[in-house]
Chain A
């Protein structure tokens, strides 16, 4: 399986915030979910991939092309949907054929029209009359109409209702049926990523806190609910993070099977991506 995106040692400093040696690999035929708190570095990472920000160091390879030396070749293969619709209110969907058609040699007017039809977007209506959901579906249609191999989405589903999100997730799943295709999606909506993503990378304060196959995370990680007294009995090396509250304590464990064998009296529950975010974001070291 070929890698569609490889990031090695990506660094970018702004003074008060820095991306610190971010590594990330997306194999073909997969969806990588990028999660993290606001300001964790998700958008900065995506901007570095697209060369909207000049990185300080590291390498970024998109489908075998360096994103600086082979910028044009790399971007020809990428479809981008950012957190907003960037098409002017005074444009109509059908105008995008004239604008994006000459930019992408592989732009397919018919495919674009098919997506507009599929998403029930009127091609002659001005974009200013579109709802947020319609605008995001238009952005997605435009991103897919030149048959990209890598789709990059930054908070593209934020603020959309569950029906629209589900429609878009279905489209992502169709897209990665091709083994040469991959998706990088940053999102706060972890339930969407639990549905669709194959890999999860969690950025925390500019560093990769976790990067694993989603199924491995959900199958192995666990949450221990216990009292403060019980927590003191647990070997700190057996837990990753803890959260202490007035009603009890919680601990994040990397291998809930092994933990249960070692501490059979303590309950270990399955964990969601959101729980992991809360442990890393609000918890403390064991």
Chain B
């Protein structure tokens, strides 16, 4: 499995380098107080979580899947490597966000309290996980090109639906107001449920992807 994770990392090395510079540049802008760190964290997480989907495009161009299935690897291992690579990206992003939050707090930069930055980090990790939960099985099933239009649907439809429901929908008593009434640390605990749900979704997504690859012919 580690060989396949290395493969994804090596194939994406130029993209990874670009994203490292991108993150550092945005962190620089946050230090200069041009952008709020909450924006930098949320924006970069959603952008970078598209990376595992790009791996499918590279594999398709090289026709790697056919060769990969000829290797002594179970479909579960092949799929597992892609999901682990995704989790690694996620961990790096979480670590980057945490370090940035800590540094800005120590340097006393920005008007947003650190607890809000952590909330933004957890929320955006959840959103990023939601994207890969849906997109990875679609990429295995349809291929990256045919799955790509769904990416926009996955990103925008939940936001639009939520907005429409809140603005024009029936009053279901749905409100995030209760978060303001909770102590900060408890509110953070509630927000932490978002990435946790995303992680549970990742497990389900993995099982679906394994089933797709198991049945697939190359």
Query: Is A267 close to B, CB under 8 A?
Result: no
Contact at A80–B11, with CB atoms within 8 Å?
A: no
Contact at B217–A103, with CB atoms within 8 Å?
A: no
Query: Is A270 close to B, CB under 8 A?
Result: no
Residues 148-166 of B, flagged 1 when their CB comes within 8 A of A and 0 if not, give 0000000000000000000
Contact at B70–A50, with CB atoms within 8 Å?
A: yes
B interface with A by C-beta (< 8 Å):
1-4, 6-7, 10-11, 13-14, 58-59, 61-64, 66-74, 217-218
What DSSP secondary structure best describes chain B's contact surface?
helix
CB distance from B30 to the nearest CB of A (A): 31
Which residues of chain B have C-beta atoms less than 8 A from A50's C-beta? 69-70
> Within the complex, which residue of A52, A86, A98 is in contact with B62, where a contact is CB–CB below 8 Å?
A86
Query: Is A47 close to B, CB under 8 A?
Result: yes
Bound-state CA distance A104–B218 (Å) is 22
Contact at A52–B11, with CB atoms within 8 Å?
A: no
Contact at B70–A80, with CB atoms within 8 Å?
A: yes
Contact at A90–B58, with CB atoms within 8 Å?
A: yes
CB within 8 Å: A-B pair count: 79
Contact at A102–B3, with CB atoms within 8 Å?
A: yes
Which residues of chain A have C-beta atoms less than 8 A from B72's C-beta? 71-76, 103-104
Query: Is A99 close to B, CB under 8 A?
Result: yes
* Known contacts A72-B72, A80-B70, A88-B64; 11 further A-B pairs (Cβ under 8 A): A52-B70, A71-B74, A72-B73, A74-B72, A75-B71, A84-B63, A88-B62, A89-B62, A102-B3, A102-B6, A103-B4
Which residues of chain B have C-beta atoms less than 8 A from A101's C-beta? 3
21 CB < 8 A contacts A-B: A51-B69, A53-B218, A73-B72, A75-B71, A76-B72, A82-B67, A82-B70, A86-B63, A86-B66, A86-B68, A87-B64, A88-B58, A88-B59, A89-B61, A91-B10, A91-B11, A99-B3, A99-B4, A99-B6, A102-B1, A102-B3
Q: A99-B4, A102-B2 are in contact. Are A90 and B70 (CB under 8 A)?
A: no
Query: Is A54 close to B, CB under 8 A?
Result: yes
Q: A89-B62, A90-B13, A90-B58 are in contact. Are A99 and B70 (CB under 8 A)?
A: no
> Which 3 pairs show the lowest CB-CB distances between chains A and B?
A86-B67, A75-B72, A102-B3
Which residues of chain A have C-beta atoms less than 8 A from B74's C-beta? 71-72
Query: Is A286 close to B, CB under 8 A?
Result: no
Total chain A interface residues with beta-carbon distance under 8 A: 30
CB distance from A269 to the nearest CB of B (A): 41
CB distance from B77 to the nearest CB of A (A): 9
Which residues of chain A have C-beta atoms less than 8 A from B66's C-beta? 52, 82, 86
> Within the complex, which residue of B58, B63, B71 is in contact with A103, where a contact is CB–CB below 8 Å?
B71
Which residues of chain B have C-beta atoms less than 8 A from A72's C-beta? 72-74
Query: Is A178 close to B, CB under 8 A?
Result: no
Contact at A90–B14, with CB atoms within 8 Å?
A: yes
Query: Is A95 close to B, CB under 8 A?
Result: yes
Q: A89-B62, A91-B11 are in contact. Are A103 and B67 (CB under 8 A)?
A: no
Which residues of chain B have C-beta atoms less than 8 A from A98's C-beta? 3, 6, 10
Which residues of chain B have C-beta atoms less than 8 A from A102's C-beta? 1-3, 6
> Within the complex, which residue of A88, A100, A104 is in contact with B11, where a contact is CB–CB below 8 Å?
A88
Contact at B3–A103, with CB atoms within 8 Å?
A: yes
Q: A53-B218, A99-B6, A103-B3 are in contact. Are A87 and B71 (CB under 8 A)?
A: no
Contact at A47–B218, with CB atoms within 8 Å?
A: yes
Contact at B1–A54, with CB atoms within 8 Å?
A: no
CB distance from A79 to the nearest CB of B (A): 10
Q: Which residue of B lies closest to A47 (CB)?
A: B218
Q: A50-B69, A82-B66 are in contact. Are A95 and B10 (CB under 8 A)?
A: yes
Q: Within residues 39 to 54 of chain A, which ones have a CB less than 8 A from any CB in chain B?
A: 47, 50-54
Q: Within residues 152 to 179 of chain A, which ones have a CB less than 8 A from any CB in chain B?
A: none
Contact at A53–B67, with CB atoms within 8 Å?
A: no
Bound-state CA distance A280–B12 (Å) is 49
